[in-house]
């Protein structure tokens, strides 16, 4: 019961009048609370598009019905082959980043993961998804979290008998992937 000041029948403006919320207003409020989603920053929304190494290994195991060791080998071969181009490092506290000089034209090396055969010798902690960055100009020798774009993973290792729309809700033109030619995975 909620009380509020209101004029009653006796024209007494200071008398408290009880107010019982109707069932309709209570249901409406409950629905509004269920629909409320927590605010996500742009960085949090962007991070949802990227997978860590353990997540990619899990996706490969699910797509190819294989053991984690075989999935790790497939991932390492795909990284070395250059088939997974959308790679980046997770920025962490204490990371050195390239200088940001606006308006001054000069060449600054990018802080991106390497590409090519260096991945065959890369030191990878498979459980945490951290890779030792022995190639960078800014965080050389640091264990860093490698991120791989989720759509690149879906393109290479899509679950069998599914639709690519499960990976990206805006993809309307996708057809059934179970009819594609088998084989040719990195």
pLDDT, tens digit, 9 for 90 and up, residues 53-73: 999 999 999 999 999 999 999
Query: Does the residue 149 lie in any domain?
Result: yes
In a domain, 114, yes or no: yes
Task: Give CA–CA dist 16/6, Å, rounded.
Answer: 7
Strand partners, 149: 50
Same-domain pairing of 112 and 74: yes
Q: How many domains does the chain have?
A: 2
**58 shares its domain with 136:** yes
Contact 164, 157 (CB under 8 A): no
Is residue 100, in this structure, part of any structural domain at all?
no
Residue 1 belongs to some domain of the structure: no
Residue 83 has what pLDDT?
84
User: Phi and psi at residue 148, in whole multiples of 5°?
Assistant: -120, 130
Ramachandran class of 88: left when φ > 0, alpha when ψ lies in -120 to 50, beta otherwise: beta
Range with lowest mean pLDDT among 11-20, 30-39, 141-150: 11-20
Q: What is the pLDDT of residue 10?
A: 55
Helix 68-81 to helix 53-64 angle (10° resolution) is 110
Classify residue 64: in a domain, yes or no.
yes
Q: State the average pLDDT for the chain.
A: 74
Stretch 155-159: mean pLDDT, rounded?
84
Of the chain, the percentage scoring pLDDT greater than 70 comes to 57
Cβ 87 vs Cβ 78: under 8 Å: no
144 inside domain: yes
149 & 132 share domain:
yes
Are 109 and 133 in contact, with CB atoms under 8 Å apart? no
- Do 13 and 80 lie in one domain? The reply is no
Say if residue 28 is in the same domain as residue 66: no
Kindly indicate the confidence band of residue 148, based on its pLDDT and cuts at 50, 70 and 90: very high
Give strand ranges (E) for the chain.
2-5, 16-19, 50-51, 87-89, 124-125, 130-133, 142-149
Quick one: 136 and 57 in the same domain?
A: yes
Question: What integer is the mean pLDDT of 126-147?
Answer: 87
81 and 172 in a common domain: yes
Q: Do 58 and 122 have their domain in common? A: yes
Instruction: Verify that 15 and 84 share a domain, yes or no.
Output: no
For the cut 80, the answer to whether the pLDDT of residue 170 exceeds it is no
d(CA 72, CA 64): 12
Residue 71 domain flag: yes
170 and 79 inside one domain:
yes
Range of the domain at 26: 9-42
Do 32 and 49 share a domain, yes or no? no
With respect to residue 101, please indicate whether it lies within any of the assigned structural domains: no
**pTM metric for this prediction:** 0.60
The pLDDT-based confidence of 20 (bands split at 50, 70, 90) is low
Q: Assess whether 23 and 89 both reside in one domain.
A: no
Over 80: is that where the pLDDT of 121 sits? yes
């Amino acid at each position: 019961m909620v009380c509020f000041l209101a004029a009653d029948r006796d024209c007494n403006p200071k008398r408290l009048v009880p107010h019982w919320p109707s069932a309709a207003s209570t249901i409406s409020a409950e629905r509004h609370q269920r629909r409320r989603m927590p605010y996500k920053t742009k960085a949090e929304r962007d991070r949802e598009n990227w997978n860590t190494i353990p997540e990619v290994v899990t996706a490969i195991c699910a797509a190819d019905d294989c053991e984690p060791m075989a999935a790790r080998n497939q991932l390492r071969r795909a990284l070395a082959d250059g088939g997974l181009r959308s790679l980046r490092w997770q920025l962490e506290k204490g990371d050195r980043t390239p200088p940001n000089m606006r308006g001054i034209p000069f060449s600054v090396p990018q802080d991106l993961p390497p590409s090519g055969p260096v991945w065959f010798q890369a030191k990878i902690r498979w459980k945490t998804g951290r890779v030792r960055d022995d190639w960078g100009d800014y965080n050389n020798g640091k264990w860093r979290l490698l991120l791989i774009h989720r759509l690149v993973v879906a393109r290479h290792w899509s679950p069998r008998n599914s639709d690519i729309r499960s990976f990206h809700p805006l993809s309307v033109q996708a057809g059934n992937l179970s009819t594609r030619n088998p084989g040719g995975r990195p």
